[in-house]
Amino acid sequence: MALPGLMRIRLFETVVDPVDVFASFAKSESPAFTALTKAVTSCDKDVLELMSIRLRVAVSPAPPLNKVNTWTESAVFAVVNADGVKEKFPPSAATAETVSVMPTFALSSASAITVLAWPGGPAEGALKKVVDNYNKTTNNNVELLYFSRDNFFDKMLADVAAGSKEFDVMLTATYSLGKYAPFMTPINDMINDEVLSTFSQGAIDTQTYNGTVYGMPTDLSLHFLYYREDLINELLSNSSWQDTYGKISKEYLGAAMKPKPADDWNWDDSVASALFFTKSINPESPVPYGTVLQMKNLLFNIMIWQGTAASYGGDWRDADGNITVDSDAYRRGLKIYRDIFDAEATPADSLSYEYAEANAAFGSGKVAFYTQWSAAYADFIKPGEYPAIEGKFTITNQPAGDMGPKTHFHSLGLGINANSDKQDEARQFLSYLGTNEAMSMFLTEGGQPPVTAPIMNALAGDRLDMLMMADHTAKYGKVMNGGTEGGAFSVYSNMAENFTAYWAGDMELDTAIANVTEFLEAEFAK
């Protein structure tokens, strides 16, 4: 029976070759081997090839590996499929039959380390390429391990808090870094000149908690302004449209404004343009709505909106730790969404919109512009996928406030499990991840690393989103003060609950801000 070479069995904290395990069982003619063979061969071929399968062998009591091993039918075999569903074989531990087999296992290198990484998407394949190259060019051996995405972070936290050594290198995420920091090894001393030539300081900030760096960033998410270039160009050249634009802006905003290129928009320009391209306000508009807001009570939607408040200087707290949400910056940022919604310049059901719904509105040609995650660009440029906007749209920075354009950004990264007995080997691997070579390969293989402009400019080709990502990371990226705390997700959720209620007209602005302020004070006092 041929098995994928990437598949591994972890036995007594030792990685072994499954083929050798099966050979040992076969020689013994163990009933357990029969059950195990049936379990594995019944798996879908595509599932087996994914490396999302982990075969675990648990035997009690665990015999020394340097002696004859005694196996019993009560051994538990668990196949973990791509969906994280566990099946145990055999179903019964009633048989007391024992067999003796000599350990013929081919053990991995003593320097092998296990990396727990984020499953799925282009980043999974990109990281595998980087790891393969590392293994070929060093004496170390890195193996990749994946959990199901469902409850990934909770399981990882439970494992490291319990002292698990199952993985030496673990996933990190900006918005929950504080949860894992007590169980991770600081790596400030690894942030040398080469690392800073690979990543901007802003990218390093996404992996920093209380002044301590815990991870090397690998995948970045931020926001762009997506806009119909054909419509904005027409507005900039059509005098009749410009006259209408001036009248609408005077009526709604109190001053007759002139249209600007989207690159130069402030938030007043954004609101005026949203009004102009809304057919209920301007019957001559070629699209039904100026923009589309994602206003569902959802924490990721607050991340998108957050750049609005940040552009006016808004932050969760000041340098002394005082909560600063009760501010003009937050009021101005919140009111922008409310004004657009009240003017019906976004679809009426925007209060139920999140990523997919907003993309559908823009991709179908219903709106002139909107703010969205960087990941959407790759979908929109696929030939034939969005004919209504194909060749008609582009991206730029979000509109500016008093502090210029800002965007929320966060990263996934990799850091060291403090429980690991292989600290040196883990540091060596992370050092490699911080090199131009590693991140250049990661980028070309489909990842989205927050690399510096020279690296990105050399490799991004005509991918405008990638070129802009490097620029935005260095110039506009904002991690809120407290955005890497363990309770950051809870903060975003609380903001979503209260700010959405304000946008919907179900809560006064002062009440929403007071509720969020009270929550942040309690959360950060923990």
Place of tokens 């620029």: 471
Instruction: Count Cα atoms within 13 angstroms, Cβ side, for 456.
Output: 23
DSSP-based helix, strand, coil % in the chain, nearest 5 = 45, 20, 40
- Residue ranges covered by each domain of the chain: 9-96, 113-218+409-478, 223-408+487-524
Whether residue 148 contacts residue 84, with contact meaning beta carbons closer than 8 Å, is answered with yes
Mean pLDDT across the stretch 261-284? 98
Contact between residue 88 and residue 77 where contact means Cβ atoms under 8 Å apart = yes
Higher pLDDT, 509 or 108: 509
Whether 113-218+409-478 shares its CATH topology with 223-408+487-524 is answered: yes
The pLDDT > 90 percentage for the chain reads 68
pLDDT at site 459: 87
Count of helices and strands (H, E) across the chain: 21, 23
Q: How far apart are CA 418 and CA 164, in angstroms?
A: 10
Q: What is the mean pLDDT of residues 109-126?
A: 83
Q: Which amino acid is at 424?
A: D
CA 389, chain centre distance (Å): 26
User: Which DSSP symbol is given to 9?
Assistant: E
For residue 474, what pLDDT is reported?
Answer: 85
Q: How confident is residue 275, by pLDDT bands cut at 50, 70 and 90? A: very high
Q: What is the pLDDT of residue 149?
A: 86
CB-based contacts of 34, cutoff 8 Å, min separation 6: none
pLDDT of amino acid 192: 95
Tell me: the pLDDT tens digits for 204-233? 999 999 999 999 999 999 999 999 999 999
Place of tokens 């990371």: 473
User: Which tokens in the block code for residue 406?
Assistant: 């800002």
Are 466 and 472 contacting, i.e. CB atoms less than 8 angstroms apart?
Answer: no
Fold of 113-218+409-478: D-Maltodextrin-Binding Protein; domain 2 (3.40.190)
Q: Using CB atoms within 10 A of its CB, is residue 322 exposed (0-12), middle (13-18) or buried (19+)?
A: exposed
Query: Which pLDDT tens digit goes with each residue over 65-84?
Result: 333 333 232 333 333 333 34
Tell me how long the chain is. Answer: 526
Taking 60 as the threshold, does the pLDDT of residue 184 lie above it?
yes
pLDDT tens sequence across 442-491: 999 988 899 998 999 888 887 888 889 888 888 999 999 999 998 999 99
Q: Are residues 367 and 301 in contact, defined by beta-carbon separation less than 8 angstroms?
A: no
Whole-number Å distance between alpha carbons of 476 and 225 = 13
* pLDDT on residue 92: 34
Q: Where are the alpha helices (DSSP H) in 138-169?
A: 152-161
pLDDT at 463: 82
Class of domain 223-408+487-524: alpha beta
- Of 469 and 62, more confident: 469
Q: C-alpha distances in angstroms, 61 versus 11, 58, 76, 247, 380?
A: 12, 9, 12, 82, 56
Residue appearing with tokens 């050798």: 20
